[in-house]
Structures are given as C-alpha cells and as structure tokens.
Amino acid sequence: MPNIKRGMMGAAGVSGEGGTLWAWGRNPPYGQLGVGAVGNQSAPVQVGSETNWTVACTGDNTNQYLNADGEVYGAGLNNHGNYGTGDVATY
C-alpha cells in the first residue's frame, strides 16, 4: 500500500489498487481513524466504501483524508480548529 502515513499512535494509507482508504492503530477516545467505531484497530480497516482517495494524513488524535475531487475529510479531535470548520467539535 503506497502513501502510508504514520502518526503518533496510528497510521493510514491509500491502496494503489482502486484508491481505497485504510486506517489502523489507536482510535479511542475520539474515533480519529474514521472507521465508525472507537476501539483500537490492530490491522488495517477500510474507511468507508469510496474508491477515490489520494492522500491520508495522520496526527495526534486526528486524521485527514483527501479525495480525487479535492475534498478534505477529517476524523477525531478538533480541539484547535484544525479542520477549518470554524468550530472545535470532535467529528
């Protein structure tokens, strides 16, 4: 899987075959992997079902994902407004 990014406690990557998005690692308490659950993931889990992902970026309790349409998605802690949405809610 090319384009693997590793954060402090997790990792994410985009599969070269079809542009699927995968994430694994520490996920509680903010759901920062974006996999729809809060438990830790010891192996890669597909994030959603879309196949147009191009970049995955991980951080401390947060992940951001970019798709081929130029849309950026975030998951996890947003305590410093890092998603650019104008608030500090966790997504």
Q: Would 82 be classed as within a structural domain? A: no
State pLDDT tens for residues 60-88: 788 888 999 999 888 888 887 777 777 77
Is 89 strand, coil or helix?
coil
Number of domains, the chain: 1
Contact 47, 37 (CB under 8 A): no
By CB atoms closer than 10 A (0-12, 13-18, 19+), residue 27 is buried
Q: Would 14 be classed as within a structural domain? A: yes
In this predicted structure, the answer to whether residue 1 has a pLDDT above a threshold of 70 is no
Position 30 scores a pLDDT of 86
pTM, entire model = 0.78
- Region class of 5: left (phi > 0), else alpha (psi between -120 and 50), else beta: beta
Position 13 scores a pLDDT of 79
Position 24 scores a pLDDT of 87
- Residue range 27-55: average pLDDT? 88
* Domain membership of residue 11 as a residue range: 5-74
Contact 10, 64 (CB under 8 A): no
Q: Would 85 be classed as within a structural domain? A: no
